[in-house]
Amino acid sequence: MNILYVESSRSWGGQEYRTCLEINWLNAHGHQAWLICNPESQVHSKASELGTRLVTMPLRSRVDLSGSWRLWKFCRRNKIELLKTYSSKGHWLCLPLYLCGIPLSRARCITDPIGTKGRAFVFKHGCSQIVADASVIKRHLVEEHQINPAKVEVIGSAVDLEKFKPPGDRIKFRREIGVDDDIPLIGNIGMIRPDKGQLVLVEAARLVLEQRPDARFVIVGQGTGILKRGINVRNAIDQTGLADKIIMAGYRWDTPNVYAACDMIVIASLHTEASPIGTVCSSNRGTLRPWQLRSWNSFPIRNWRRTAQQTGSATRRKISHSTK
C-alpha cells in the first residue's frame, strides 16, 4: 500500500517521533510510505536522523491551493492510496484531495476541544476515518460534535518494550550527568513548552528538595518551535538557586538509559495529553524493574492542573516509597 503522511508542524515531539517510526516500519514491511514536512523544520532534521523517507514542501497555511496542487501531483505520481494528517493545517491542505477521491485518515492525539463548527466540519465531513489516541477523544467527538462513532477508531500510542527490557543500564546516564548511584533521581522527559508543565515541576522540585536535599531532578527535552522556552526553564532553575540539583540534559535519543537511571518519572503536563505512555521504574542494585505501563489516569504521579505544592507532596511520598 502507498501511504502519504502530511506533517505541517515545525516542532519535534512524541507524535512526530511515533509517525516516523510508523513510516519506517511500513517501509520495512513491504509498503511504500512517505513523510511530507516543512523544510528547515525540527521535524525534517530529526526525521532525517531516523532515516525516514522524506519529501520537503512548504506547508504555509490551511487554505493554499498551490500547496494542495503540489500534494495532488505527488499523489498522482506515486499512486498514493491513503493520506494521513495530524493537524488542522495538514487536514485542510489535503481536503481537496479527499474530495477528489483519495481516502484520508485524520489522527487526533490531544484532548483540547476542537472549537468552532468550522473546525469540526473537517472531522465530520472531510475525512474517511478518524484515529483517536484515547477513548476520551472519541467520546468528545461523538458527544460534542455528533460524529458517527463508527468513523472513529481508538488506537493508543505504543511502546517497544524490547527497548526497555531489564536489566537496564542504571549507571551510564547517571555518570554522564554526574549523579551517584545511591542518590534519588527524578526524571521528566518531553518537549519543553508551557502545557508540559516543566515550570511547575521546577517549583515542585524546590519544595521536594527542602525536605530531601539528597535528591536530584533531571529534565530531558528541548524547547519546541520557540527554543527560548528551554531558556525560560533554565532561568527558572537559576532563580531557585538549585542549578546543581535540577539538571537540564537536552534532547536525548537514548530514553531507555534515562528511564533505567531514574528512580521515578514525573509527567507534569497541565493539559492536552490523551494517553502519555512511559515506563515508571524502580531500580534495585542496578536492575530495572518496570512498575507500570498504563494510560495517564493510572500513573502514580500525574499533574492534572494541580499546584506545584501537590506535585511536590506526591513526589516526596514516592521518593520515600522507592528508596525503602
Q: Which residues pair with 110 in a beta bridge?
A: 273
If asked whether residues 97 and 175 sit together in one domain, one would say: no
Tens digit of pLDDT per residue, the chain (324 long)? 999 999 998 888 888 988 999 999 999 999 999 999 999 888 999 999 999 999 999 998 888 999 999 999 999 999 999 999 998 899 999 999 999 999 999 999 888 788 777 778 889 999 999 999 888 899 999 998 999 999 999 988 767 778 877 777 889 999 999 999 999 999 998 888 887 888 888 988 988 898 899 999 999 988 865 566 778 888 889 998 999 999 999 888 888 899 889 988 888 777 666 555 444 433 333 333 333 333 322 233 444 345 566 666 666 666 665 555
If asked whether residues 187 and 223 sit together in one domain, one would say: yes
Residue 64: give the domain boundaries.
2-154
Among 123, 154, 185, where does a domain finish? 154
Buried b (16+ CB within 10 A) or exposed e, 61-96: ebebeebbebbbebbeeeebebbbbbbbbbbbbbbb
CATH number of the domain within which 272 lies: 3.40.50.2000
Using alpha carbons only, give the angle 256, 259, 264 rounded to the nearest 5 degrees.
170
**Other beta carbons less than 10 A from residue 22's beta carbon:** 17
If asked whether residues 189 and 131 sit together in one domain, one would say: no
If asked whether residues 167 and 122 sit together in one domain, one would say: no
If asked whether residues 197 and 142 sit together in one domain, one would say: no
Among 154, 185, 212, where does a domain finish? 154
If asked whether residues 107 and 52 sit together in one domain, one would say: yes
Among 132, 154, 176, where does a domain finish? 154
If asked whether residues 52 and 121 sit together in one domain, one would say: yes
Q: How many domains does the chain have?
A: 2
If asked whether residues 165 and 150 sit together in one domain, one would say: no
If asked whether residues 177 and 139 sit together in one domain, one would say: no
If asked whether residues 200 and 150 sit together in one domain, one would say: no
If asked whether residues 135 and 181 sit together in one domain, one would say: no
